[in-house]
A and B are shown apart, each in its own frame.
Chain A
Amino acid sequence: MRIPRAKAAFALPVILTAILVGAACSEGGGSQKGHVKAGGTTSLAWVGASPDFIFPLPPATNTNGYNANLENPLWPNLTYDGNGSQAAVNSQESLFSAIRFTDRDTTITITLKPWKWSDGAPVTSRDFTFVYHLLKAEVPNWYLYVPGLFPDDVASVATPGPHTVVMHLTHSYNPTFYTENVLSEVPLLPQHAWDKTSMSGKAGNDDDTTGGAKAVYAFLAREGAQMTTFTTNPLWKVVDGPWTLASFQSNGAWDFVPNKHYSGPDKPILARWNNVPYTTDAAEVDALRSGSSVDVATLPPNDIAQEGVLKSEGYSVAPVPYPAVGDIMPNLHNAAAGALLRQLYIRQALEDLINRPQIVSKVFGGAADPGNGPVPVQAFPSWASPLEKSGGPYPYSPSVAIALLKARGWKVAPGGTSACQRAGTGAADCGAGIAAGQPLRFQLDYSSGSATMDEEDAAIQSSEAQAGVRISLKAEPFNTLSGEVGTCTASSHPASGCGWQLVNFGYAPYEAYPAGDGFFDTGGYNNQGGYSSTEMDSLINATEYGSSTSAFFSYEDYAARQLPWLWIPLPSNIFVYRSTLQGFTPLNPVSGGLNAEVWSYRP
C-alpha cells in the first residue's frame, strides 16, 4: 500500500495492524498468466479506518492515509515505486516511458506512455499540466505539499508534444531522489473530463489561470468528499488505473472491478476485489481463524504465534520489511530534559543501553529490522552503508554506556537513578545546563494499542536502568500523542507543545529513496525534537541535490553516529493470504499501490 510520507506517520496505529501492501509487481508479473484461472473474488481486510475522499489531491485538512488505497488503483502516480522485491522504480507499471535529467539535473524531460483513459481519450502531457496548475494554485493546501519541493521547485513547465513534459527546476536534484520521492506523489488526472467548475459545466481550460484552477480544485474537492456518490459521479468513472470502483458503502467497504480499457501491462485477472473494513485487528484475526471469506489480511506482531493455526486454515504467511526508520525522538529543547538530551554522549549512552537484538528476537519474533541507524537495512539493502550493515555505531553494551557516563562526571547507580557529580562544561564534566545532582531521568511517551510496542518500551525501560537511567513510560492513543507533541526548536519551545521528552510514535516512513530531508535537517517537518546541525544539513543537501552513493553513505553514517533520534528495531508487516492466491509474493517494501491486478487463484 502506498502511504505517502506525511500520511504514513499519521496512520501508524492502523499500519501496525492492518497495512496492506500490494503484492510486488514484478517485471515478470504477467508471465504467470498462462497458468492461472481468470475470474474469482479476493477480499482484503483493512483495520482501523477506511477511505473518505476520492479526489486524488486531498486538501490539507484531510489526513486520512487510507484514501490512497482507494485512489491509487484508479489513478496511479507517475512513478510506480516498488519492483519485485526491490525498493526501486518499476518502469513497466509507471506512466512514463522515459525520464531524462539534463542541464546538471535542473531539467527533467518526461516521456509519457501512450496510455488511454477509461473513456478512450489519450493520456497526455496536458493531464500533467492540469495537475501542476491545480497544485500550484492550491499551495500549501495540498495534503502532500512539502515546502520547497514540488511544485515550489518548478520554474516552468512546457509540453512540446502530447506525450512530452519538460520541467525546468529552480535547482539541481538527485535524479533518484526526485524520481522516487517526488514524482511518485504526482498522479496524472483527466483534464479533458475534470477541468470544470460544476457538474453541468463543460470541461475547458479553466486551470490555465490561478483563479480558474482554484475554482476547479474547489469543485473537485467538494465532489471528492461526497461518499454517497463515489460510484455514481461521472467524474470518478474516468480512470487510467487497472481498476474501477464498483461499489462504496457507508461502512467503509468498497469493491473494485477491472478497468476493461486499462492500457498497462498487467490487466487484472480477478473479476472482483473487495475491501472489507475491520474495527480492530482482534476482530480481523478472529475472522481469519473462523474460516471467514477474508483472503488477505495482516497479522499484528503480537499474534505471530497464530501462524501455525492460520496455515492449517489454508493461509500462507509472508513478512515484508517496512520502509521506515524505527525511532525514539528526543526533545532537545524540553525544559527539564533538553540539556541532558542535547549532549551527544548521553544520547550515545541511551543508545548503547537499548538491547536491540533482544527486542528483535523476543518482542518481534525475529521479524523486524534491527534498527542500526537511519536507513532500515532490510527494506533498503542497497542504501544501507557498510557501517549500518555491520550493526551500526552503537551496538548494545551497558558497560560502554556506564563508562561513558562515568567519564563525564556521573555517579552511575545501576538499578537506581544516576546523578551528575561534576557540573560544568569541561571534557570530563556533565555538560552545559546540567546541574550537580541532576538525575538521569526521562519520560518516554509512546503510542498505545499495540502489545508489542508495550513490550518494546518496557524492554527499553528495563535495559536503560542498568546504567541508572530512569525511564518512566506513558502510553497514549496515537492521535492524543500527536496532539501533545509539538515542534520544538532552540528559539521556540513553548511549554504547551514541548512538555514531551522522549517519544516513540513507532516509526517515520520513507519513500523509495530513504534520504534524511524533513527528518534531521534544521526545520525539517519531521524534526519535532529540534535537532540542528550545519554539518547534517550539508550532508542531507548532498543526498538531495547530488547523486553520489558515497555522499549518501556519508550522510547516513554521520546521522547514525550523531543520533538525532535513537534507533530502535522496527517490526515487519506480516501478511496472511489465501494459499491458493498466486502473485501475492514477492512482497515489496515500497510498492506503489495495491496491485491486485497480478493476483489470481490457482486453477
Chain B
Amino acid sequence: MTAFLIRRIGQAAAVVMGVMVLTFVLIHLEPGSAARAALGPHVTAGRIAIFNSTYGLNEPLYRQFGGYLAQVARGNLGTSYALQQPVSTLIAQRLPRDLLLLGVSTALALILALPLGLYQALRRNRPGDYVFTGIAFTLYSMPDFLLAIALIAVFCVQLRLLPPEAPQATTVTGLLADPRALILPVLTLALVSVASFSRYMRSSAIDTLAQDYIRVARAKGLSQRLILARHVLRNSLLPVITIVGLSFPAIVAGAVIAEEVFNFPGMGLLFYQAATSHDFPVLLGSTLVVGISTVIGSLAADIAYAVLDPRIRYGRG
C-alpha cells in the first residue's frame, strides 16, 4: 500500500504540473488583453504599459511561467488583477465556505440517494419505483437555477418560511450558526445529485441482487436486513463512489449557480468572474486548487475501493 501511495502521489504531482502548464498556456492564448479587461474599455496606452509592467505581462511567456512556478513554490499564488487581493487570501476566504456547502449537500445527497436506490432496486418495476424514477428524472433534467428559483419562490416569497440568502458569515462556524439559511442552497445542490446518485445505486443494486452470492446468502437463511447491509449495499457502492468522484466538477459548476442565486460568493463565482475578466492569477490559483482537490479525491476513491472490496489490494503486482 505504501508503494502504491508513493506511486500515486508521484503521478498526482505530474498531473498537477500538467494542469498548470496547460492552464497557463490556454489562458494566455485567450483573445483580448488582460490589461484592457482589468482596466476597462477606455484605458490609455500609458496605463496599459504600467499594468503590464507591474504584472510582468510584457515578459516572454516561458519567463512568465518560470516566474509563476517560483512564486508558487514560495507559497505565493499572486495577486488578483481585478480584486487586488492575494489569490491565496481570496481562496482561503471562499474555499471553506464552498467545502461546507458542497460537503453538506453531497453528504445529504448520499444519505437520501443510497437507501432510495436500494429501495427502488428491491421494488423494481413497481409503482414506488416508477414514482421515484419519475421524480429523479424530473430533478436530474431540471437546471439548477430553475430549481433554486422555484424553491425561493415557494419557501421564501410565498410561505416566508426560509430566507432567500445563504448565511453571510465569513467563517465556517458563523455559517453553521445560521442553519435555516443553509437549507435552500444545500437542498438545491443535493436534490440534483440525489437524482443522479439514486439512479446509479438502483442499477448497481439490481446487478448485485442478481449475483450468486446473494442467492447463497438467502439459501443459508440470512435475514433480508443482513443481506442488504452486508452484501448488497457494500458491493453496490463501488460504482456510486466512482460517480461521486466524477460528479465533482458538475457539483462545482452547480455551486456557481447556487452561489449566484443565493448570494453566497464562493470559489465557483470567483472562478467564473476571473474567467470573464482575464484575471490570470485567480484562474491559475483556482485551477491549481481544484486540480489538487480532484487528484486527492481520486486517491481517496482508490483507497475506498480497497476498503470496500477486499479483492482489491494495491501494490501486490
The interface of chain A, by Cβ under 8 A from chain B, is 6-7, 9-10, 52-53, 60-64, 140-141, 145, 147, 225, 227, 249-253, 276-280, 282-284, 286-287, 289-292, 477-487, 496-497, 505, 508, 518, 525-526, 528
Nearest A residue to B33 by beta-carbon distance?
A483
Whether B85 sits at the interface, judged by CB under 8 Å, is yes
Known A-B contacts A147-B46, A485-B41; the reply to A279 vs B263 at CB < 8 A is yes
Q: Are B32 and A9 in contact (CB under 8 A)?
A: no
Q: Are B93 and A250 in contact (CB under 8 A)?
A: yes
Q: Are A289 and B39 in contact (CB under 8 A)?
A: no
Q: What's the nearest-Cβ distance from chain A to residue B183, in Å? A: 14
Looking at chain A's contact residues, the main secondary structure is: loop
8 pairs from A and B in contact (CB 8 Å cutoff): A52-B84, A63-B40, A277-B265, A284-B263, A292-B165, A483-B37, A484-B31, A505-B41
Cα–Cα distance between A486 and B82 once the two chains are bound (Å)? 19
Q: Quick one: which of A10, A289, A496 contacts B40, CB cutoff 8 A? A: A10
Cα–Cα distance between A279 and B259 once the two chains are bound (Å)? 7
Residues from chain B with a CB closer than 8 A to the CB of A496 are: 31
Q: Are A280 and B54 in contact (CB under 8 A)?
A: no
Most buried by A among B47, B82, B85: B47
Residues from chain A with a CB closer than 8 A to the CB of B43 are: 6, 525
Q: Quick one: which of A141, A282, A483 contacts B261, CB cutoff 8 A? A: A282
Whether B178 sits at the interface, judged by CB under 8 Å, is no
Contacts across chains A and B counted by CB atoms under 8 Å: 150
Q: Are A63 and B39 in contact (CB under 8 A)?
A: yes
Q: What's the nearest-Cβ distance from chain A to residue B304, in Å? A: 34
| Stretch of B135-143, B152-160, B221-229 with 4 or more beta carbons under 8 angstroms from chain A | B152-160
Nearest A residue to B278 by beta-carbon distance?
A483
Q: Are A61 and B51 in contact (CB under 8 A)?
A: yes
Cα–Cα distance between A283 and B166 once the two chains are bound (Å)? 10
Q: Are B33 and A280 in contact (CB under 8 A)?
A: no
Cα–Cα distance between A485 and B38 once the two chains are bound (Å)? 12
Q: Are A61 and B84 in contact (CB under 8 A)?
A: yes
Whether B58 sits at the interface, judged by CB under 8 Å, is no
Closest 7 pairs (CB-CB, A-B): A483-B32, A10-B40, A483-B37, A479-B277, A477-B276, A283-B263, A286-B164
Q: Are A485 and B39 in contact (CB under 8 A)?
A: no
Q: Quick one: which of B50, B93, B157, B261 contacts A60, CB cutoff 8 A? A: B50
Residues from chain A with a CB closer than 8 A to the CB of B241 are: none
Most buried by B among A63, A252, A292, A486: A63
Interface string of B147-188 (1 = CB under 8 A from A): 001001000110010011100101000000000000000000
Q: Are A279 and B260 in contact (CB under 8 A)?
A: yes
Q: Quick one: which of A52, A140, A250 contacts B47, CB cutoff 8 A? A: A140
Q: Are B39 and A60 in contact (CB under 8 A)?
A: yes
A277-B265, A282-B260, A286-B156 known, 20 other contacts, Cβ within 8 Å:
A10-B40, A10-B41, A52-B84, A60-B50, A61-B39, A61-B54, A62-B84, A140-B50, A277-B263, A280-B260, A284-B263, A290-B163, A292-B163, A477-B277, A479-B37, A479-B276, A480-B278, A482-B36, A482-B37, A483-B34
Whether B269 sits at the interface, judged by CB under 8 Å, is yes
Q: Are B164 and A290 in contact (CB under 8 A)?
A: yes
Nearest B residue to A249 by beta-carbon distance?
B170
Q: Are B160 and A291 in contact (CB under 8 A)?
A: yes
Known A-B contacts A63-B38, A483-B278, A485-B36; the reply to A283 vs B163 at CB < 8 A is no
Residues from chain A with a CB closer than 8 A to the CB of B160 are: 290-291
Known A-B contacts A52-B85, A61-B54, A251-B265; the reply to A283 vs B42 at CB < 8 A is no
Residues from chain B with a CB closer than 8 A to the CB of A6 are: 40, 42-43
Known A-B contacts A64-B84, A227-B85, A290-B156; the reply to A251 vs B170 at CB < 8 A is yes
Nearest A residue to B50 by beta-carbon distance?
A60
Q: Quick one: which of B44, B51, B165, B276 contacts A287, CB cutoff 8 A? A: B165
Q: What's the nearest-Cβ distance from chain A to residue B249, in Å? A: 21
Whether B83 sits at the interface, judged by CB under 8 Å, is yes
Cα–Cα distance between A1 and B301 once the two chains are bound (Å)? 52
Whether B264 sits at the interface, judged by CB under 8 Å, is yes
Residues from chain A with a CB closer than 8 A to the CB of B24 are: none
Whether B45 sits at the interface, judged by CB under 8 Å, is yes
Residues from chain B with a CB closer than 8 A to the CB of A477 are: 276-277
Q: What's the nearest-Cβ distance from chain A to residue B221, in Å? A: 57
Cα–Cα distance between A74 and B198 once the two chains are bound (Å)? 55
Q: What's the nearest-Cβ distance from chain A to residue B226, in Å? A: 48
The interface of chain B, by Cβ under 8 A from chain A, is 31-34, 36-47, 50-51, 54-55, 81-85, 93, 149, 152, 156-157, 160, 163-165, 168, 170, 259-265, 269, 276-278
Most buried by A among B39, B41, B83, B259: B41
Q: What's the nearest-Cβ distance from chain A to residue B184, in Å? A: 10
Q: Are B261 and A484 in contact (CB under 8 A)?
A: no
Cα–Cα distance between A280 and B260 once the two chains are bound (Å)? 6
Q: What's the nearest-Cβ distance from chain B to residue A158, in Å? A: 29
Known A-B contacts A60-B51, A140-B50, A279-B260; the reply to A482 vs B41 at CB < 8 A is yes
Cα–Cα distance between A525 and B156 once the two chains are bound (Å)? 47
Q: Are B164 and A225 in contact (CB under 8 A)?
A: no
Cα–Cα distance between A141 and B47 once the two chains are bound (Å)? 7
Q: Are A483 and B84 in contact (CB under 8 A)?
A: no
Q: Are A479 and B170 in contact (CB under 8 A)?
A: no
Cα–Cα distance between A140 and B53 once the two chains are bound (Å)? 14
Q: What's the nearest-Cβ distance from chain B to residue A308, in Å? A: 14
Nearest B residue to A527 by beta-carbon distance?
B42
Residues from chain A with a CB closer than 8 A to the CB of B262 are: 283
Cα–Cα distance between A283 and B38 once the two chains are bound (Å)? 25
Q: What's the nearest-Cβ distance from chain A to residue B191, in Å? A: 18
Residues from chain A with a CB closer than 8 A to the CB of B165 are: 283, 286-287, 292
Cα–Cα distance between A286 and B33 once the two chains are bound (Å)? 36
Known A-B contacts A63-B38, A140-B46; the reply to A283 vs B51 at CB < 8 A is no
Nearest B residue to A448 by beta-carbon distance?
B276
Cα–Cα distance between A60 and B35 once the two chains are bound (Å)? 11
Known A-B contacts A60-B50, A290-B160; the reply to A225 vs B44 at CB < 8 A is no
Cα–Cα distance between A141 and B160 once the two chains are bound (Å)? 50
Most buried by B among A60, A64, A249, A284: A60
Q: Are A251 and B156 in contact (CB under 8 A)?
A: no
Q: What's the nearest-Cβ distance from chain B to residue A194, in Å? A: 20
Residues from chain B with a CB closer than 8 A to the CB of A63 are: 38-40, 82
Q: Are A53 and B84 in contact (CB under 8 A)?
A: yes
Cα–Cα distance between A484 and B265 once the two chains are bound (Å)? 27
Most buried by A among B81, B83, B259, B276: B276
Nearest A residue to B155 by beta-carbon distance?
A290
Q: What's the nearest-Cβ distance from chain A to residue B91, in Å? A: 12
Cα–Cα distance between A278 and B166 once the two chains are bound (Å)? 11
Q: Quick one: which of B84, B149, B277 contacts A480, CB cutoff 8 A? A: B277
Nearest A residue to B264 by beta-carbon distance?
A279
Residues from chain A with a CB closer than 8 A to the CB of B156 are: 286, 289-290
Residues from chain A with a CB closer than 8 A to the CB of B264 are: 279
Q: Are A290 and B157 in contact (CB under 8 A)?
A: yes
Residues from chain A with a CB closer than 8 A to the CB of B39 are: 10, 60-61, 63, 482
Cα–Cα distance between A484 and B35 once the two chains are bound (Å)? 10
Q: What's the nearest-Cβ distance from chain B to residue A405, in Å? A: 30
Residues from chain A with a CB closer than 8 A to the CB of B157 are: 286, 289-290
Q: Are B263 and A480 in contact (CB under 8 A)?
A: no
Cα–Cα distance between A95 and B147 once the two chains are bound (Å)? 52
Q: Quick one: which of A52, A147, A528 contacts B42, CB cutoff 8 A? A: A528
Residues from chain B with a CB closer than 8 A to the CB of A60 are: 39, 47, 50-51
Q: Are A286 and B45 in contact (CB under 8 A)?
A: no
Cα–Cα distance between A234 and B50 once the two chains are bound (Å)? 30
Cα–Cα distance between A62 and B45 once the two chains are bound (Å)? 16
